[in-house]
A and B are shown apart, each in its own frame.
Chain A
Amino acid sequence: MKNLEIEFTINNEKRRLSVKPNDLLINIIRNDLFLTGSKYGCGIGECGACTVLINGEPVLSCLTLAATVDGKEITTIEGLAKGNDLHPMQIAFLKNAAVQCGFCTPSMILTATALLKENPNPTEDEIRDYMRSNICRCTGYIQIVKAIEECAHGEKTN
């Protein structure tokens, strides 16, 4: 099949790539651009490990054809920190030990930033409801929810 030429921005960098019609975005990001923070988990849109932001919205890159991101803006976990300065959500995850094996962490952090953009003051229920897109196989959900709460509301004093 004929390759397609696509141009997109990823983590504020313009890229031009030649992709096959059936290339999945997750594979392009990992294998061609070597941004391995995004993970290939279930491959059918159940686990959320492949989450990236496209035009600011969290989507599943394992269910996105690379051909469809022509002209779009993508953010992966690698694009959140500014140089050595981590994103506040990354700091909150670190401080709350919201990481066990780390496989789901990039996707958790990206989805959490999208949540706070939509809803800057979420309740615990709203956090849990939104974060249901992303599965943590180590089941460290309590720390993840705490980290997001802290990032949104600041550290709790009690």
Chain B
Amino acid sequence: MNQFKYISPKTKEKALKILKEERVNACIVAGSTNVLPDIKVKKLSPKILVDITAIEELRGVDKKKDKICIRPLTTIAELINSELILKEGKILIQAAQEFADPLVRNNATIGGNLVTASPAADIAVPLLTLDALIKIESIKDKREVKLKDFFLGPGKTVLQDDEMIVGIEFEQSDINKNGYFIKLGQRKAMAIAITSVAVNLDVRQNKIIRIRVAAGSVAPMPIRLTVVEEFLENKEINNELIEEATNKVSEEVNPISDIRASVEYRRYVSGILFKRAFNKLT
């Protein structure tokens, strides 16, 4: 394995200062379940590994007013055990339970899952339907980006060299409480999604007030299906509507063929997964 310097700053400021000074030479690491395999195959060759796991202020889940904030070092296992998340955004727990396997979940972090920017990222898909906001800081600046604008492509995000995620936020709301996530993989453990679909729904007297739909592994990045959302909003639920929406999901996704599945299969199955998730919520 390549050599690198290892630093474990104790504060956020110290970590941001290192990023500012070292820029591309530095690589942040937390759970290391993605970074170390990438270093082993030389996909990454950082000169300095900045281990942020000692920065306590970046860990944990809490609620301020009507916002739920998940800090980036929260592990997938911690998400599963969070009562606040169970109450306010249960869909995240469903995705966390499908995430890799229990051992990986003890180390892998929510921040890491997002910055890795895999088109198949299990946690990103339900965070999209929770309409999550990503809080980003550098030593001199702070900014917020909607998760749907955070990903630029496979492995690419809007994060600059000197920036890091300091929080992931979503609102306490009826629609965020009512969500369903389905992941289709070739097997249960360690499977990368062939397709995954998340739906959050606010429905009153059989009328769709608001709906958010997202999908993974069907585009260069996890995406929101806004055409489908707009089509469904303010409509009465009936069988024809669902069938039409199912077809629209298959049309809106933009998958590629790879070793896991073909374009045609992914299009077809995204519609089916959408229909199943939608029916669970009504």
Task: Give chain A's interface residues, CB within 8 Å of chain B.
Answer: 1-2, 4, 20-22, 24, 43-46, 48, 51, 57-60, 63-65, 67-68, 111, 129-130, 132-134
Contact = CB atoms under 8 A, between A and B. Distances in A.
Contact of B104 (A1, A43, A45, A130): A45
Contacts of A43: 37, 40
B106 A2 contact: no
Interface of B: 1-6, 8, 32-33, 36-37, 39-40, 49, 51, 53, 77, 101-104, 106-107, 188-190
A63 B36 contact: yes
25 contacts: A4-B6, A20-B3, A22-B2, A44-B37, A44-B40, A45-B33, A57-B77, A57-B106, A58-B103, A59-B103, A60-B103, A60-B104, A63-B32, A63-B36, A63-B107, A64-B32, A64-B107, A65-B51, A67-B6, A67-B51, A68-B53, A111-B102, A129-B188, A130-B102, A132-B190
A128 B102 CA distance: 11
- Top 4 A-B pairs, shortest CB-CB distance: A132-B189, A21-B6, A133-B103, A133-B101
A1 B104 CA distance: 28
A111 B103 contact: yes
Contact of B107 (A48, A60, A111): A60
Contact of A22 (B1, B33, B190): B1
B51 A48 contact: no
A130 B189 CA distance: 10
B125 to A, nearest CB: 21
B101 A132 contact: yes
Residue picked from A1, A2, A45, A46, most chain B C-beta under 10 Å: A45
A59 B4 CA distance: 23
A58 B106 contact: yes
A16 B190 CA distance: 35
Nearest to B49: A21
Contacts of B32: 63-65, 68
Contacts of B189: 132-133
A21 B48 CA distance: 10
A67 B104 contact: no
A63 B37 CA distance: 7
Contacts of A46: 190
Contacts of B77: 57
Contacts of B106: 57-59
B3 to A, nearest CB: 5
Nearest to A64: B32
B103 A22 contact: no
B27 to A, nearest CB: 12
Contacts of B37: 43-45, 63
A20 B1 CA distance: 11
Nearest to B77: A57
B102 A133 contact: yes
Contacts of A130: 102
